Amino acid sequence: MNILPKHLDTLVIYCPTWVGDIVMATPLLDCFREHFPDTKIVGLLKKSAQGIVRDGPWFDEFIDGSKSWGGFANTVRQVRRHKPDVAVLLPNSLRSALTMRLGGAKKVFGYRHNLRGAFLSGGPEPVRSNLQIVPVPMTQYYLDICRWLGMDVPQSAKPRLYINENLLERGQSLIRKYGIQEQDLVIGLNPGASFGASKCWPAEHFAELAELCQRRLSAKILLFSGPGEGAIAEALVTQSSATIIDTRRDNVDLELLKPLVQRCNLLVTNDTGPRHYAVAFDVPTVVIMGSTDPRYTASNLDKTIVIRKELDCSPCHKKVCPLDHQCMTQITPEEVFAAAVELLKEHG
């Protein structure tokens, strides 16, 4: 049964906070745009993340989803101006439900999670076992909202991102500035993670990996880092004898990051946002995973190798390791390099 009407004037989608989750939500965005081609669809997400999805066919307008409670009232006012017929919540927070209810959305749908169910018009329940939520791939987790609403959902769904001509030229201009030629083998390294240090493979391991890739593969090394990740990026550059193209000096934001990741022949990254860019652009990817549960991202892995150690303490999902971080330190540069070579042979 289709719960939504055939026509909506305005739909607001409250997007996830984390970069990777935004990318993994794009199949849901595809689903809504396909079902409502003439509806004004408004994306609510933080301003710095809007460039991730701006070039796609999904949103007609954006609302700035400030995380501060000081910006809460402003966000509610923006929602009110749009007079949404329906709001769809992708975060599980009470705040997202309050924003839409106070913003006057006529119907609000999302996961009935904890106490916020009272503020919703309906939505699926998370899958549970022994009262604990069972981790499922986030792409499918989001699409289950569409299924609950009675929408047709493809059996296999892959995240995708878009790059407009102006953005492509900006990216290509940087690539030319870096001296990267069309025939060059480019390996991107992403050593940071805004979530916390527990997700980060040691800088000295990344530094050694850069040397292996340059010495054995004659690769050009492209270093990515986001806000708050400067220390680990600097440590990598300082400790490596490889020649590293450091993108920090060019203030690469989440939008400009798209054409740079797309140019890579391979990306080596912690379990963080850029890995999902790579999936969207079909870039082979080695993911070094420690503190996070692999079940949340266990989809669209045909060009991905996930390296992790099965320890008693992992996955812990803590921001900072309270022990000795063995889930990451036990993964060696040679092990990661071997996975990189395997992917390049198969998909390069």
Measured distance CA(41)–CA(29) in Å, rounded: 10
Residue 193 has pLDDT above 80, yes or no: no
Residue 248 has pLDDT above 90, yes or no: yes
Domain ranges of the chain: 10-148, 165-347
What is the tens place of the pLDDT at every residue in 323-340?
Answer: 888 989 999 999 999 999
Q: What is the DSSP string of 205-262?
A: HHHHHHHHHHHHH--EEEE---TT-HHHHHHHHHH--S-EEEGGGGT--TTTHHHHHH
Question: Which tokens sit at 160?
Answer: 């995708």
Percent of the chain with pLDDT over 90: 82
Could you tell me which residues come within 8 angstroms of residue 26 by beta carbon, excluding any fewer than 6 positions away?
A: 53, 56, 58, 159, 160, 161, 280
Residue 47 has pLDDT above 80, yes or no: yes
The sign of the dihedral angle between the CA atoms of 314, 302, 223, 45 is negative
Measured distance CA(20)–CA(67) in Å, rounded: 17
Q: pLDDT band at 142, cuts 50/70/90?
A: very high
Q: pLDDT band at 133, cuts 50/70/90?
A: confident
What local confidence, expressed as pLDDT, does residue 343 receive? 98
Q: pLDDT band at 170, cuts 50/70/90?
A: very high
Residue 322 has pLDDT above 90, yes or no: no
Residue 269 has pLDDT above 70, yes or no: yes
Measured distance CA(208)–CA(152) in Å, rounded: 48
| Stronger pLDDT, 70 or 160, i.e. the higher one | 160
What local confidence, expressed as pLDDT, does residue 1 receive? 67
What's CA 31's distance to the chain center, in Å?
18
Instruction: Kindly indicate whether the domain formed by 165-347 is annotated with CATH number 3.40.1280.10.
Output: no
pTM metric for this prediction: 0.95
| Stronger pLDDT, 280 or 1, i.e. the higher one | 280
Measured distance CA(51)–CA(256) in Å, rounded: 8
Least Cα distance to 154 among 20, 42, 26 occurs for 26
What's CA 297's distance to the chain center, in Å?
10
Measured distance CA(198)–CA(64) in Å, rounded: 29
Question: Would you tell me how many other CB atoms lie within 10 Å of the CB of residue 214?
Answer: 19
Element (H or E) spanning 328, and its range?
A: helix 326-329
| Stronger pLDDT, 190 or 323, i.e. the higher one | 190
> What is the residue type of 248?
R
Q: Tell me if 10-148 shares its fold with 165-347.
A: yes
- Whether the CB-CB separation of 198 and 324 falls below 8 Å is answered with no
Residue 88 has pLDDT above 90, yes or no: yes
Considering the domain delimited by 10-148, tell me its CATH architecture. Answer: 3-Layer(aba) Sandwich (3.40)
Mean pLDDT in residue range 40-66: 96
What local confidence, expressed as pLDDT, does residue 313 receive? 84
Mean pLDDT in residue range 233-244: 97
Residue 210 has pLDDT above 80, yes or no: yes
Residue 70 has pLDDT above 90, yes or no: no
Average pLDDT, the chain: 94
Question: Which tokens sit at 186?
Answer: 């480019």
